C-alpha cells in the first residue's frame, strides 16, 4: 500500500505532554471556529467571516475592517506568542498560523482567548497543505521563525526550505510581498541563503551586516528564541517577491 505522503512531511512530533484541562477544552470548543478547512480551495472572505459571539472570545475593541491592509502567513508558530502579538497589534490585518505540534496549537488558543484576537485562523498540520489551497498572489508577508533545522546532513532533505517549497510559496505571494526567515543555526542560514538567492523570484534585502544581525522592527521574542538552542546568534533574513 502506498503511504499518504501528506502525513509524512512534517517529520517531527505532533504531540508531547498531555494537554492541560483548559487547553484541551479550547481545542474542543474554540479551535473548530478558527480552524482552516481541511479540504478545498481557501477563500479569504469566507475564512475570516466573523466569529460567533458565544465562542468565548472577548469582543474586538474596534470593528474589523471590511478590507484588510495585509494578509499574512506564519509557518510554525510554536506557542503562538509572536502570532497573537502581531495580530493584536495589527487588527486591520489577517493572519493564518500553521503549526504541526498540537501542544503549540493549544498554547496559541490560550493566547487568542486571553487577547480576544478576531483576525487569526489556525491549521494544525503541514504548511504545504495550506499553501497549496491559497489563491495566487494573495499573501503580503510570510514568517518562518526558527524552523526545525534538521542539522544532520542526512536529514537536510527534511528541511522546509527546498526548491519545490519556494516555488509553491512564490505562487501565493504578491509581487513585492516579503518573506521573513530567522534561525539560530548557521548552516540553515547558509542553506536558506543559497536556495533563495538561486531562485530568481526572490531578492535578498540585506545591504549591511546589521540587516541580518538584528531582528526587523516589531519582532516579538518567542520562548524558543529565548532558549538559545542553536549554534549561533539568531540570523534574520528578509527577501522580497519579485
Strands (E), the chain: 70-75, 93-98, 120-123, 139-145, 173-183, 202-204, 235-241
Q: Are 86 and 95 in contact (CB under 8 A)?
A: yes
User: How do residues 189-214 score in pLDDT, each as one tens digit?
Assistant: 999 999 999 999 999 999 999 999 99
Q: Which residues are catalytic?
A: 148
pLDDT of 61 higher than 80: no
Q: Alpha-carbon distance 219 to 215, whole Å?
A: 6
Residue 12 confidence (pLDDT): 53
Architecture of domain 19-36+66-241: 3-Layer(aba) Sandwich (3.40)
Tell me the whole-structure pTM to 2 decimals: 0.92
Residue 240 confidence (pLDDT): 98
Q: Alpha-carbon distance 119 to 97, whole Å?
A: 11
Domain boundaries, the chain: 19-36+66-241
Q: Copy the grid coordinates of residue 128.
A: 504545504
Q: Copy the grid coordinates of residue 182.
A: 530567522
pLDDT of 14 higher than 60: no
Residue 224 confidence (pLDDT): 87
Percent of the chain surpassing pLDDT 70: 90
Kindly state the DSSP code that residue 65 receives in the 8-state scheme: P
pLDDT of 2 higher than 50: no
User: How do residues 117-170 score in pLDDT, each as one tens digit?
Assistant: 999 999 999 999 999 999 999 999 999 999 999 999 999 999 999 999 999 999
CB atoms inside a 10 Å sphere around CB 100: 20
Amino acid at each position: 500500500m502506498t503511504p499518504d505522503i501528506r502525513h509524512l512531511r512534517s517529520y517531527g512530533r505532533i504531540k508531547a505532554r498531555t494537554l492541560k484541562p483548559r487547553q484541551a477544552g479550547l481545542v474542543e470548543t474554540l479551535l473548530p471556529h478558527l480552524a482552516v478547512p481541511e479540504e478545498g480551495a481557501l477563500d479569504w472572505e469566507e475564512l475570516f467571516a466573523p466569529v460567533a459571539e458565544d465562542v468565548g472570545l472577548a469582543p474586538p475593541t474596534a470593528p474589523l475592517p471590511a478590507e484588510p491592509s495585509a494578509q499574512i502567513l506564519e509557518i510554525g508558530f510554536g506557542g503562538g506568542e509572536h502570532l497573537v502579538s502581531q495580530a493584536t497589534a495589527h487588527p486591520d490585518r489577517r493572519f493564518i498560523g500553521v503549526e504541526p505540534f498540537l501542544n503549540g496549537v493549544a498554547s496559541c488558543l490560550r493566547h487568542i482567548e486571553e487577547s480576544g484576537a478576531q483576525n487569526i485562523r489556525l491549521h494544525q498540520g503541514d504548511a504545504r497543505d495550506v499553501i497549496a489551497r491559497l489563491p495566487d498572489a494573495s499573501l503580503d508577508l510570510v514568517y518562518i521563525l526558527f524552523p526545525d533545522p534538521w542539522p544532520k546532513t542526512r536529514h537536510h532533505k527534511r528541511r522546509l526550505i527546498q526548491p519545490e517549497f519556494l516555488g509553491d510559496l512564490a505562487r501565493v505571494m504578491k509581487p513585492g510581498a516579503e518573506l521573513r526567515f530567522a534561525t539560530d543555526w548557521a548552516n540553515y542560514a547558509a542553506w536558506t541563503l543559497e536556495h533563495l538567492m538561486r531562485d530568481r523570484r526572490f531578492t535578498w534585502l540585506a545591504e549591511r551586516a546589521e540587516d541580518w544581525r538584528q531582528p526587523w522592527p516589531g519582532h516579538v521574542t518567542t520562548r524558543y528564541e529565548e532558549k538559545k538552542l542553536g549554534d549561533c546568534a539568531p540570523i534574520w533574513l528578509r527577501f522580497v517577491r519579485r
